[in-house]
Structure 1
């Protein structure tokens, strides 16, 4: 016997869970009904057909990505917190993010994070084109890092591996560097390092060129 107290949110929760685990192709109305212990007709009553369900999941993902609240004492600290949160949220729901992209809502999804970054670069004194460039540079750094990270995770076993390519014996000029590159990369540490370096450069006061005196 099917459930009589099923809600639309429960249907969306279960659908999101299936997509997160197995991708959009695994989401069928029959499988979703079995997951919820209800009849397929009940699913249709709550969310409509499969396309309507996917649209609802995309809209909810966009709304969830809007809940990014900066934390920290300085603009640089708060920008870093936005970057860390955004990376975490994107990593948590890759299949749902792909669905958002396919439906042309990527820019809308990123808007809340952009607005948070705008607030912080303004607090740091940036305005106009320089502020806009800073916001986009940070956003592109986050997304670009995540794409590289995902590609490395999905790549087949490498032969030779990094540990074989970087032998301290072959780098006598800097054996410490060779040992470091031979170890597996720490994505979290590298992400923080790269974003912090970028933010420091973006928020630093512009260097004023001293005008040259004309020769006498």
Structure 2
């Protein structure tokens, strides 16, 4: 028996899950209705047609990306916290981010994070062009890192892999370096280290 009580947010939640599992092409009103145990007409009544549903998903994604709250006491800590949250949010919803991009709303999506960064670089003493450069450097580092991570996630198994390639002679006879590079990279730690180095180089001494 079809469900009689259904909210717009429940529909958007289920639609987001379908997009995450199957990509934007996998989102159809029929699949969504089946997932929710309701009639297609009920979906239309709450959110309109598929285009309206996609628009609503995009708008919600933009809002969610805007809810970034800096954490920490020192300016560098707070900037790094914004970067880490932005990376986590982008990683969590790649297909939804792609839909935002297709709708031409990427710049709007990033604006709240940029504003949070502006506030923090101002607090650190930067103004004008140097502040703008710092904000964009952090944003570009985050986006570039996420894209690299996605490419690594989707890459085929490498043969030979890093564990086979890195030997002491290749590493200029630095055995500890060879062992470290032969181990899988720790994306979380690497991001934190690289972002910290970038931020500290941008802020006033």
Q: TM-score range by the shorter chain?
A: over 0.9
Q: Which has the higher contact order (CA 8 A, sep 6+)?
A: 2
Residue 160 to residue 103, structure 1, CA distance change in 2 (3 Å): same
Runs of 4+ in 1 over 6 A off after TM superposition: none
Once residues 132 and 56 of structure 1 are traced to their aligned partners in structure 2, the CA distance between those partners, rounded to angstroms, is 31
The aligned counterpart of 2:59 is 59
Per the TM alignment, residue 4 of structure 1 is displaced from its structure 2 partner at its CA by 1.4
The aligned counterpart of 1:17 is 17
The aligned counterpart of 2:88 is 88
- Counterparts of 1:126-205 in structure 2, within 5 Å, are 126-171=126-171, 173-205=173-205
The size of the alignment, in residue pairs, is 205
The aligned counterpart of 2:106 is 106
Question: Which secondary structure state, in structure 1, belongs to the residue aligned with residue 142 of structure 2?
Answer: helix
Once residues 154 and 12 of structure 1 are traced to their aligned partners in structure 2, the CA distance between those partners, rounded to angstroms, is 27
Once residues 101 and 66 of structure 1 are traced to their aligned partners in structure 2, the CA distance between those partners, rounded to angstroms, is 15
Once residues 92 and 173 of structure 2 are traced to their aligned partners in structure 1, the CA distance between those partners, rounded to angstroms, is 41
Normalization by structure 2: what TM-score?
Answer: 0.97
Once residues 182 and 9 of structure 1 are traced to their aligned partners in structure 2, the CA distance between those partners, rounded to angstroms, is 46
Residue 12 to residue 171, structure 1, CA distance change in 2 (3 Å): closer
Kindly name which structure, 1 or 2, has the bigger radius of gyration based on alpha carbons: 1
Once residues 127 and 115 of structure 1 are traced to their aligned partners in structure 2, the CA distance between those partners, rounded to angstroms, is 14
Per the TM alignment, residue 95 of structure 1 is displaced from its structure 2 partner at its CA by 0.4
Once residues 172 and 129 of structure 1 are traced to their aligned partners in structure 2, the CA distance between those partners, rounded to angstroms, is 41
Task: Give the superposed CA RMSD.
Answer: 1.0
Q: How big is each residue's C-alpha offset from its partner over 1:148-175, in whole Å with a ceiling of 9 and x where there is no partner? A: 1110111001111111110125445322
The aligned counterpart of 1:31 is 31
Once residues 99 and 172 of structure 1 are traced to their aligned partners in structure 2, the CA distance between those partners, rounded to angstroms, is 46
Once residues 187 and 63 of structure 2 are traced to their aligned partners in structure 1, the CA distance between those partners, rounded to angstroms, is 27
Residue 171 to residue 80, structure 1, CA distance change in 2 (3 Å): closer
Per the TM alignment, residue 20 of structure 1 is displaced from its structure 2 partner at its CA by 1.3
Q: How big is each residue's C-alpha offset from its partner over 1:132-160, in whole Å with a ceiling of 9 and x where there is no partner? A: 00000000000001111110111001111
Per the TM alignment, residue 21 of structure 1 is displaced from its structure 2 partner at its CA by 1.7
